[in-house]
C-alpha cells in the first residue's frame, strides 16, 4: 500500500471510531478493567513517584478512543509504588492528558501475590497454554486452593466493587470491558452489583479444549465458565478459541444451552454472545516509532551484527514461546546447511518476565546455556551464530524487526502473538515470516507466512532454509501481503468491532 493509501485507511478508521464513540458512549461511560493498568509508577531520584505510560497495544487502542470520550480504567496496584501512589490519591489518579481516570484496586500484598503469582500466572496461564507435563504437574495442593479462596476470588471481587463504584459515581448504564485471565470472575460479580451494565470479557490467551480444563478442580472451572456466561459478550482472539469456549461451557456447565451455529450460550436465563476479535497493533504509532531517531540509533548499533541472512526473534522470556526448541532447530539448521555458517545469524531479543517464578528463571538459564553451546560449537572470535539481547527495550526490538530477513515466531501456543504483526509492518527488507500454526496470528497471516508446527524441529529446519533462500520476488510479494493484512485489521478495527457489538447488545440486538 502506498503511504497515501495507508493514511487514508487510517483517517477513515479514526473518523468511524469518532462517530461510533460519540454515538455509543455519549450517555454511557466506558469502563475498562485489566490487571496491568495503562501506567506504572517509577521512583525519581528525589524519592517521588512519577507515572510512566505503559507500552502495550491495549493502552494505545484505548488512548485512541479516549481522544473522543473519557474512559475509566480500573487496574490493580501491582507493586509498592502503585500502592503508595494509590494511597496518596485515594485510589484514583486523573490522567488528564490521556482523558482517562485510573482507579487502582488495592488489596493486601499477600492477597495479591496469591492471586498473581500462585493462581493466575502459574496455574491459569499454564492450563491455557497446555504447559503442564501432566503426569507430574500441576499438583493442586492446599496452597493453590488457598490462592483461589484468599487470592483470586477476593481480588476479582475487589475489582467488581471498584467497577460498580465507578459506575454509580458516573450514573447511567456503562459499557464494561474486562480483560484477560486475571479477571474471569468479574463479569458475574459486576452483573450482580450492576445488572444494567453491558459487559464484554475479552481473553487475550488461548482457550483450551474442554477436557484439558478438567485438570482444574471442578468448582474453579465451573466458577470461571459460569462467570463468563454472565457477561453479555465473551470475546476471544480466534474463531478456534471461541469454539473451544462453547464446547467447554457445554462440558463444564451441565445446564448451559449452547448454540454452535450462532455462537451463543444461554445459562441461568441469560444469553451470552461468543465472538472473536483478533487483537492487533497500532499502525500509526508503530510506524512513527520505527521511523524515529531513537530507533534509527538502535538500527545503527545493530548493524555490525547483521549477516547475509539475519533471523530475528522477539519474545517475552516465556516457556510457551518455544525458545529452547527453536534454538535447537537453529543449531540443526547450521549443521545441516554449513553454507550458512558465518553467513547467517540469529538475533534473539528476550524480554525479562515474571522473574519471581522459578520456572521462568530456569527457562532463561536454559536459553543462555544452550546459546553458549551453539556458539562454542559453531562460532569463533569473529562470528557468533546466536546473540541474545536480554532486556526490556522496545525501541531496540523495533529496530531489529525493521532489519530482519527472517522473523522466526514459533510459540507452542499463543493467544495472538503481536510480534508476528509488528514485524511485517516495520520491516524494511521484505523479510519472510516463519510462523507457528499455533499462534493466534496464524489464522489471519497464514497465506503469506511459512507455517510451522512448533514441535516439529525438522519442519522448522526446512522452513528456515526455505526462508533464507527465498527468491527476492516471492519475498516482496509475501511481505506486501502481510503488511496489508496488518494495516487493514489494526487495533482500531479491534476496538471498533467490540464497541459496535456492545452497542448492538445494549439495544437488544444480536451483534
Q: Which is nearer to ligand G6P, 151 or 385 (CB)?
A: 151
Binders of ligand G6P among residues 288 to 307 (CB under 6 A) are none
CB 199 → ligand G6P: shortest distance, Å? 18
Sign for the pseudo-dihedral over CA of 458, 459, 462, 467: negative
CB 315 → ligand G6P: shortest distance, Å? 11
What is the CA angle 19-25-27, rounded to 5? Answer: 125
Q: Which is nearer to ligand G6P, 343 or 354 (CB)?
A: 354
Cβ–Cβ under 8 Å, residues 444 and 278: yes
| Residues 185, 204: Cα–Cα separation, whole Å | 16
Please tell me whether the peptide bond between 49 and the residue prior to it is cis, using omega within 30 degrees of 0. Answer: no
Cβ–Cβ under 8 Å, residues 246 and 225: no
Q: Which is nearer to ligand G6P, 56 or 138 (CB)?
A: 56
Q: Which is nearer to ligand G6P, 206 or 385 (CB)?
A: 206
CB 318 → ligand G6P: shortest distance, Å? 8
**Coil, strand or helix: which one is 51?**
strand
Chain center to CA of 326: 21
The sheet with strand 344-351 has its strands ordered as 386-390, 344-351, 309-316, 406-409, 432-436, 450-452
| Residues 220, 298: Cα–Cα separation, whole Å | 46
Residue 408 φ/ψ, nearest 5 degrees: -110, 105
Listed in sequence order, the residues at least 6 apart from 370 whose beta carbon sits closer than 8 Å to its beta carbon are: 324, 327, 328, 331
Q: Which of 62, 98, 183, 205 binds ligand G6P (CB under 6 A)?
A: 205
CB 11 → ligand G6P: shortest distance, Å? 29
Size of the site for ligand G6P (CB under 6 A): 7
Q: Which is nearer to ligand G6P, 106 or 193 (CB)?
A: 106
| Residues 161, 406: Cα–Cα separation, whole Å | 47
Q: Which is nearer to ligand G6P, 210 or 440 (CB)?
A: 440
Q: Which of 28, 114, 201, 204 binds ligand G6P (CB under 6 A)?
A: 204
Under rule CB under 6 A, residue 241 binds ligand G6P: no
Q: Which is nearer to ligand G6P, 371 or 436 (CB)?
A: 436
Binders of ligand G6P among residues 402 to 461 (CB under 6 A) are 415
Q: Which of 99, 341, 353, 466 binds ligand G6P (CB under 6 A)?
A: 353
| Residues 180, 144: Cα–Cα separation, whole Å | 20
Cβ–Cβ under 8 Å, residues 189 and 221: no
CB 60 → ligand G6P: shortest distance, Å? 14
| Nearest Cα to Cα of residue 329 among 285, 370, 272, 297 | 370
> Where would I find the H helices in 293-405?
293-302, 323-336, 358-378, 394-403
Q: Could you give the C-alpha distances from 37 to 52, 58, 64, 215, 277, in angstroms and in order?
A: 11, 10, 16, 30, 21
Q: Which is nearer to ligand G6P, 37 or 210 (CB)?
A: 37
Contact mark string toward ligand G6P, 309..348, x via CB under 6 A:
----------------------------------------
CB 55 → ligand G6P: shortest distance, Å? 11
Contact mark string toward ligand G6P, 10..49, x via CB under 6 A:
--------------------------x-------------
Q: Which is nearer to ligand G6P, 180 or 405 (CB)?
A: 180
CB 200 → ligand G6P: shortest distance, Å? 16
Contact mark string toward ligand G6P, 174..193, x via CB under 6 A:
------x-------------
- Where does this chain bind ligand G6P (CB under 6 A)? 36, 180, 204-205, 353-354, 415
Amino acid at each position: 500500500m502506498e503511504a497515501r493509501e495507508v493514511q487514508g485507511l487510517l483517517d477513515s478508521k479514526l473518523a468511524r471510531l469518532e462517530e461510533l464513540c460519540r454515538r455509543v458512549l455519549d450517555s454511557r461511560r466506558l469502563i475498562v478493567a485489566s490487571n496491568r493498568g495503562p501506567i506504572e509508577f517509577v521512583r525519581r531520584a528525589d524519592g517521588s513517584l512519577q507515572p510512566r505510560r505503559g507500552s502495550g497495544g491495549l493502552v494505545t487502542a484505548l488512548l485512541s478512543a479516549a481522544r473522543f470520550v473519557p474512559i475509566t480504567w480500573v487496574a490493580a496496584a501491582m507493586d509498592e509504588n502503585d500502592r503508595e501512589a494509590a494511597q496518596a490519591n485515594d485510589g484514583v489518579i486523573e490522567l488528564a492528558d490521556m482523558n482517562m481516570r485510573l482507579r487502582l484496586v488495592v488489596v493486601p500484598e499477600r492477597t495479591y501475590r496469591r492471586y498473581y503469582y500462585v493462581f493466575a500466572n502459574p496455574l491459569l496461564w499454564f492450563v491455557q497454554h497446555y504447559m503442564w507435563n501432566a503426569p507430574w504437574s500441576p499438583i493442586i495442593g492446599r496452597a493453590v486452593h488457598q490462592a483461589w479462596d484468599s487470592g483470586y476470588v477476593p481480588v476479582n471481587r475487589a475489582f467488581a466493587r471498584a467497577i460498580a463504584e465507578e459506575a454509580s459515581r458516573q450514573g447511567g448504564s456503562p459499557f464494561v470491558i474486562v480483560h484477560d485471565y486475571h479477571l474471569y470472575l468479574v463479569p458475574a460479580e459486576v452483573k450482580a452489583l450492576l445488572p444494567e451494565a453491558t459487559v464484554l470479557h475479552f481473553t487475550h490467551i488461548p482457550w483450551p479444549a474442554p477436557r484439558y480444563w478438567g485438570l482444574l478442580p471442578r468448582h474453579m472451572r465451573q466458577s470461571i465458565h459460569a462467570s463468563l456466561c454472565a457477561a453479555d459478550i465473551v470475546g476471544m482472539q480466534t474463531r478456534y478459541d471461541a469454539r473451544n469456549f462453547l464446547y467447554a461451557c457445554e462440558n463444564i456447565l451441565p445446564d448451559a444451552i449452547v448454540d454452535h451455529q450462532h455462537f451463543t450460550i444461554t445459562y441461568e436465563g441469560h444469553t451470552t454472545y461468543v465472538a472473536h476479535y483478533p487483537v492487533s497493533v497500532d499502525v500509526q504509532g508503530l510506524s512513527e516509532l520505527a521511523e524515529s531517531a531513537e530507533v534509527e540509533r538502535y538500527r545503527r548499533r545493530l548493524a555490525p551484527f547483521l549477516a547475509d541472512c539475519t533471523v530475528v526473534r522477539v519474545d517475552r522470556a516465556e516457556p510457551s514461546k518455544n525458545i529452547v526448541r527453536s534454538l535447537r532447530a537453529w543449531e540443526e539448521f547450521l549443521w545441516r546447511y554449513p553454507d550458512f555458517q558465518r553467513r547467517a545469524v540469529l538475533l534473539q531479543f528476550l524480554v525479562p518476565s515474571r522473574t519471581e517464578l522459578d520456572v521462568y528463571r530456569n527457562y532463561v538459564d536454559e536459553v543462555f546455556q544452550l546459546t553458549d553451546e551453539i556458539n562454542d560449537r559453531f562460532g569463533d572470535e569473529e562470528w557468533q551464530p546466536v546473540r541474545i539481547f536480554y532486556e526490556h527495550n522496545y525501541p531496540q526490538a523495533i529496530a531489529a524487526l525493521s532489519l530482519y530477513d527472517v522473523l522466526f515466531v514459533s510459540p507452542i501456543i499463543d493467544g495472538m502473538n503481536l510480534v508476528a504483526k509488528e514485524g511485517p509492518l516495520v520491516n524494511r527488507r521484505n523479510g519472510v515470516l516463519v510462523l507457528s500454526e499455533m499462534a493466534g496470528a496464524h489464522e489471519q497471516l497464514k497465506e503469506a507466512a511459512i507455517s510451522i508446527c512448533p514441535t516439529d524441529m525438522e519442519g522448522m529446519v526446512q522452513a528456515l532454509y526455505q526462508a533464507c533462500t527465498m527468491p527476492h520476488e516471492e519475498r516482496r510479494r509475501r511481505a506486501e501481503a502481510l503488511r496489508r493484512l496488518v494495516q487493514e485489521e489494526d487495533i482500531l478495527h479491534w476496538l471498533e468491532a467490540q464497541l459496535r457489538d456492545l452497542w448492538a447488545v445494549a439495544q437488544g440486538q444480536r451483534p
